């Protein structure tokens, strides 16, 4: 299938590792010119180099999503380099440091929302005029199964991802007239450093091994995971690439679950 992605310019945030890295590589393999962004310049450049070694085009731009002008700077630098931006993939995210509701400070609530939601708002706002001018755009927001079927822990993370799904639907209605399609992808239990960190936190708080924490987490929070395994970053990346392509020109406002069947509802 021809996906129509050759020479499209895609910005991928959170691209230094995990899902962002997998998405950046997958888009580059389809011919996109990829701009990778995250905090760590060294890690970004490693990913960019791996793309270039495969014959792809990649530019690394280190920006801190918690800083007010970072996302505007990211778009400005992308335009300076490539003159256009066609695709945004918003992956930057954090679980927060605390898992129990009554122990989460106001500051941590604000920090989680700033990274998980507001950095996406800022990046979309910065890129929107360029997409409107060319009458073509794809925006893919990485939400989470936790935004649909929340865990009892990490309520700030869960709420921020639910807000991101809501934002996706709202923007899909507002900008369809401009040829801009906005969709979300909600993964569940993917083999990433973020999931490793979550399990490490749970193991530490309960005084058990990380392997025991994984078994307990799956039993308590993912009883409907019918595929009975963790997902791979590349499996999420494949869905993101599909949504970025011409093949989904009649798809907007959707939330694609890449969750191994763990969400029980049919909505």
Catalytic (active-site) positions: 157
Point out which residues pair with 184 in neighbouring strands: 141, 255
Contact 95, 77 (CB under 8 A): no
Instruction: Give the list of residues 6+ apart from residue 232 with CB closer than 8 angstroms, or none.
Output: 22, 190, 191
Q: With CA atoms as reference, report the closest residue to 116 among 175, 84, 74, 156.
A: 156
Q: With CA atoms as reference, report the closest residue to 36 among 72, 88, 84, 80.
A: 88
| Whole-number Å distance between alpha carbons of 74 and 65 | 10
Point out which residues pair with 258 in neighbouring strands: 187
Strands 180-187 vs 87-90: parallel, antiparallel or unpaired: unpaired
Question: How far is C-alpha 229 from the geometric centre of its chain's CA atoms?
Answer: 21
């Amino acid at each position: 299938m021809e996906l129509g992605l050759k020479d499209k310019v895609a910005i991928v945030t959170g691209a230094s590792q995990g899902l962002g890295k997998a998405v950046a590589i997958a888009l580059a393999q389809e011919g996109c010119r990829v701009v990778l962004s995250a905090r760590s310049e060294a890690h970004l450049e490693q990913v960019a180099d791996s793309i270039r070694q495969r014959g792809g085009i990649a530019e690394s731009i280190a920006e801190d999503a918690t800083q007010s002008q970072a996302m505007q700077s990211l778009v400005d630098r992308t335009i300076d380099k490539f003159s256009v931006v066609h695709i945004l993939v918003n992956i930057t995210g954090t679980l927060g440091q605390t898992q129990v509701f009554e122990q989460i400070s106001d500051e941590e609530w604000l920090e989680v929302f700033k990274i998980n939601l507001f950095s996406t708002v800022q990046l979309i706002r910065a890129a929107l005029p360029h997409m409107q001018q060319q009458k073509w755009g794809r925006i893919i927001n990485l939400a989470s199964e936790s935004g649909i079927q929340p865990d009892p822990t990490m309520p700030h993370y869960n709420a921020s991802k639910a807000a991101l799904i809501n934002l996706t639907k709202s923007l899909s209605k507002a900008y369809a007239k401009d040829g801009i399609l906005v969709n979300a992808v909600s993964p569940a239990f993917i083999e990433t450093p973020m999931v490793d960190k979550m399990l490490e936190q749970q193991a530490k708080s309960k005084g058990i091994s990380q392997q025991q924490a994984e078994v307990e987490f799956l039993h308590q929070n993912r009883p409907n995971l019918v595929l009975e395994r963790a997902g791979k970053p590349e499996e999420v990346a494949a869905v993101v690439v599909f949504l970025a392509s011409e093949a989904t020109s009649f798809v907007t406002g959707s939330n694609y679950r890449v969750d191994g069947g763990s969400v029980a509802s049919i909505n």
